[in-house]
Amino acid sequence: MGFNKKMKTSIIESDIIIGMLDTGVWPESESFNDTGFGPIPKKWKGTCQKSANFTCNNKIIGARYYLTDGDNGPEDFISPRDAEGHGTHTTSTAAGGLVSQASLFGIAKGTVRGGVPSARIAVYKICWSYGCSDEGILAAFDDAIADGVDIISLSVGSSIPFDYFEDSIAIGAFHAMKKGILTSNSAGNGGPTPGSVVNVSPWSLTVAASTIDRKFVTKVKLGNGQIYEGATINTFDLKGKMYPFIYGGDAPNLTLGVASEFSRYCFPGALNATLVKGKIVFCEYFTDYEGVLEAGALGAVFQDTGNKDFQFSYPLPFSTLNVNDGRMIINYLNATENPTATIFKTSQDNNQFAPFVVSFSSRGPNPITTDILKPDLTAPGVDILAAWSEASTVTEDDTRRTRYNIISGTSMSCPHATGAAAYVKSFHPTWSPAAIRSALMTTAIPMTSNNNIEGEHAYGAGHINPLQATDPGLVYDAGEIDYVKFLCGQGYTIANIQLISGNSSSCSEETDGTVWDLNYPSFALSSTPGKSITRVFYRTVTNVGSAVSNYRAVVNAPPGLIIQVQPSVLSFEYVGQQQSFVVTVGAELGNSMISGSLIWDDGVHQVKSPIVAYASIML
């Protein structure tokens, strides 16, 4: 991924410093080559923590690590060096340089680049084999803020959402926001369960994961010539050679008393190694690869009822097929005396339905503050090729090393949004975190519920559009006092607000604002099913487009939703001028969500905001 604009020079981009809080980085990767980079920006105040096995350069200008007792394993490097691969992947996605002929063993071969390849990188290793500690996260935030980073990227999150005052990431992001630094967060991989979204603080950017226009397919050919299309990333090339093909149910491990009714699922220990060794095994239900691997199978084909909108790599030739194709294969195995098959190396095809939010991406509604829409937007996070740690293998139980790997997750979409935020920051270095987030949200490409029935609870404001985000026309700005007002209005105690803000904050009539008063680029309201509800939203926009301009309110209100905007026209006479308006939304709530929108249109800019009403039963 990369963003280009002829008016933009890499000189300005090279002053942008992205702070990556992750598992560290593999500094020798070609993605972090500093050829052509000038001196380190004068604003940089950080350090490259001394280590016997890690050296910074003019691309990776700083690196630190934060080790808490018990977090590291024997494979970890006690340095900023990445032993796992995750941090190297996310870092190169956000700001890696151009590298030609990159691939995963020939798959997806081409030129890779990060969102802002000229940006500098500061590495903060917070995650180890056994986890990412709150102490390390908070310390890394403190250091990144003091070091002078411009954007913080954090592809880390808990499996369940925590309230803001209990969430080290939310607390760290608040402190970063106070210093003008936007934190880009992954939304989590708990989808499609409703209410599974994490990292939902309104002062950070929450990023869902969506597909790209490329998909990978792994074909299986039978001895009868029939070919079936599966969904994995198979890096092994069998050269089209046909191998003996056996049904797992015909190879039970009788020594352990396993019956064919169990061995057909190919669980660990269920297969007779003598019967399956050197053969391709067909398994009726996808569990994992360990059973066929330990039994010595040459490869495996699994029947899989799960989602096939993303793929994994495996340590042996492997493909997963849908149930209908699985039945055809069972019929072939039952009707053929000496069945054979082969598994082809993965090829790529066009994904005509992209972009849509992938099944694993965590969904709203927001479980902490129901009337703030989260995630904020979505970005590419499926089957992403990026740099990898050479200390790590392609996948578990594998021995092969690779310089580039293909993986999926909101961990991958987050650095795409980080790169986009850094790109906007390079054009507008004085913009606040809220202004940058607003620009990304209001220029996002609208999506529909045709491919994601959860609608905005899956994709927020839509699919990220970095080039357009540099010229949004209007922005919804907010700062520390606005978020304190929000917290006061939500009923948080002074003690809890101080845990978040780090200040001796107090709540009063002047600092008590409702959630609907927070100057957010999206609008959400919720209530119990079967109830009529009306909410009033107060918003202020700042003109960052043409000095003299007139914006007209364009409302999309489907049946069941009434949207009124007052005034319906906003006139500006200079850049930086602010205008306020009121949006009144009425909804008849059933058990589902109603989606509308507000667009401020001046004939050049379309400042888009989703408006979502839903029944709280969705949580």
The span from the CA of 166 to the CA of 237, in Å, is 49
Phi, psi of 331 (to 5 degrees): -60, -40
The sheet with strand 569-572 has its strands ordered as 523-527, 606-615, 593-601, 549-556, 569-572
User: Mean per-residue pLDDT for 402-426?
Assistant: 97
Q: Active-site residues: which are they?
A: 22, 86, 411
Residue 297 has pLDDT above 90, yes or no: yes
- The reply to whether 499 falls in a domain is yes
Of 68-82, 343-357, 567-581, the range with the lowest mean pLDDT is 68-82
Q: Could you say which DSSP state residue 580 is in? A: E
Task: List strand residue ranges (DSSP E) for 517-592, in order.
Answer: 523-527, 532-543, 549-556, 561-566, 569-572, 578-588
User: Mean per-residue pLDDT for 279-295?
Assistant: 91
411, HSE (Cβ side, Cα atoms, 13 Å): 25
Q: 473, 557 in Cβ contact below 8 A?
A: no
- The reply to whether 1 falls in a domain is no
* DSSP per position, 186-236: E--S-TTSTT------TTSEEEEEE--SEEEEEEEEETTS-EEEE-SB---
The pLDDT tens digits of the residues spanning 205-236 come to 999 999 999 999 999 999 999 999 999 999 99
Count of structural domains, the chain: 4
Q: Give the pLDDT confidence score for residue 354 in this predicted structure.
A: 86
The pLDDT tens digits of the residues spanning 476-507 come to 999 999 999 999 999 999 999 999 998 877 78
Alpha carbon 572 to its chain's center: 36
Residue 297 CB partners (closer than 8 Å, separation 6+): 271, 276, 277, 278, 279, 280, 281, 316
pLDDT band at 70 (very low <50, low <70, confident <90, very high): confident
The pLDDT mean for the chain works out to: 93
The span from the CA of 297 to the CA of 383, in Å, is 26
**Structure-block tokens of residue 227:** 């070919």
Q: Could you say which DSSP state residue 574 is in? A: S
Of 10-14, 206-210, 289-293, 520-524, the range with the lowest mean pLDDT is 10-14
Give residue 509's domain range: 479-517
482, HSE (Cβ side, Cα atoms, 13 Å): 20
- The reply to whether 355 falls in a domain is no
Residue type, 245: F
CATH, residue 389: 3.40.50.200
> If residue 612 lies in a helix (H) or strand (E), which one and from where to where?
strand 606-615
Q: Give the pLDDT confidence score for residue 618 in this predicted structure.
A: 52
pLDDT: which is higher, 512 or 148? 148
Q: Do both 245 and 264 map to the same domain?
A: yes
- The reply to whether 265 falls in a domain is yes
User: Mean per-residue pLDDT for 150-174?
Assistant: 94
Q: Give the pLDDT confidence score for residue 425 in this predicted structure.
A: 96
Q: Do both 75 and 134 map to the same domain?
A: yes
* DSSP per position, 439-485: HHHHTSBP--TTT-TTTHHHHTT-B--HHHHT--SEE----HHHHHH
Q: Do both 126 and 202 map to the same domain?
A: yes
Q: Do both 511 and 525 map to the same domain?
A: no
For CA atoms 421, 424, 428, 431, the dihedral sign is negative
Residue 351 has pLDDT above 90, yes or no: no
Q: Do both 268 and 342 map to the same domain?
A: yes
Residue 94 has pLDDT above 50, yes or no: yes
The pLDDT tens digits of the residues spanning 436-471 come to 999 999 999 999 988 899 999 999 999 999 999 999
Q: Do both 393 and 319 map to the same domain?
A: no
Q: Do both 199 and 229 map to the same domain?
A: no
The pLDDT tens digits of the residues spanning 265-278 come to 999 999 999 999 99
The span from the CA of 92 to the CA of 96, in Å, is 4
User: Mean per-residue pLDDT for 7-20?
Assistant: 75
The span from the CA of 602 to the CA of 544, in Å, is 12
Q: Give the pLDDT confidence score for residue 46 in this predicted structure.
A: 96
Of 3-7, 413-417, 603-607, the range with the lowest mean pLDDT is 3-7
Residue 567 CB coordination number (10 Å): 11
> Of 301, 317, 350, at which residue does a domain stop?
350
Q: What is the dihedral of CA 391, 98, 188, 450, to 10 degrees?
A: -140
Residue 382 has pLDDT above 80, yes or no: yes
Q: Give the pLDDT confidence score for residue 8 in this predicted structure.
A: 44
The pLDDT tens digits of the residues spanning 560-597 come to 999 999 999 999 999 999 999 999 999 988 778 999 99
User: Mean per-residue pLDDT for 522-536?
Assistant: 91
Residue 69 CB partners (closer than 8 Å, separation 6+): none
The span from the CA of 1 to the CA of 15, in Å, is 20
Residue 617 has pLDDT above 70, yes or no: no
Q: 32, 97 in Cβ contact below 8 A?
A: yes
User: Mean per-residue pLDDT for 394-421?
Assistant: 96
User: Mean per-residue pLDDT for 543-556?
Assistant: 97
